[in-house]
Homo-oligomer: A and B are copies of this chain.
């Protein structure tokens, strides 16, 4: 038998007075991308009663900023903390909300939500994204009712509502960002090879890149130090190791990869 989806402890209050506690009709959703060893994943929750996958999301308290809500909701639902969330887009198709999600969840406990209840109205959601090394993030698996999991972004299926298109839009924002900001300092080992750096870009962009063009472009940004060491052990000619030049990396984060005007 399928597990019942637990209701929040304060479910009666949420149902009856939620629109006095939270901003009605608005939510936040977090698309947390995790990269590790050439795989790009996204952090999703298993929605107990529907077997669907959902982004960690939730409501905004009357007294908190949208940013605060995003950090809080992510922490409450996954245990994840200490990552930088970036707001990227608001999603508001008139029929994106699915009232049946709430209806079914409460029905399992014999509660019929009145049609005009705030939970069943249209919600606009504000999207946040982040890119991190998923091995360095601690998911709290003891949180009841959730089951957060890293899902390969090439294997997205059975997502709730419009969450797949939210993920795709977040990915688009991330890819645009690659065009003018550096990336990788927290995603690669301290010393890395050019093929490893290229693989990071290829994984995020979802496409193969030309080796020579990539190398020329990366070197022209002036954010890399080439070491005299090489990575030994492979069958091929041992590739040189690089580190990021911290000072120039920081500068490029502020002024862009192509320098200021």
Contact = CB atoms under 8 A, between A and B. Distances in A.
A214 interface: yes
Contact of A25 (B26, B205, B261): B26
A154 to B, nearest CB: 18
Nearest to A116: B20
A222 interface: no
Interface stretch (A62-70, A142-150, A240-248): A62-70
A235 interface: no
Nearest to A19: B24
A180 interface: yes
B126 A90 contact: yes
Closest 6 CB pairs of A and B: A66-B92, A179-B256, A180-B180, A179-B180, A90-B126, A23-B25
11 contacts: A26-B26, A65-B93, A66-B92, A90-B90, A92-B126, A176-B180, A176-B256, A179-B258, A201-B261, A205-B261, A209-B261
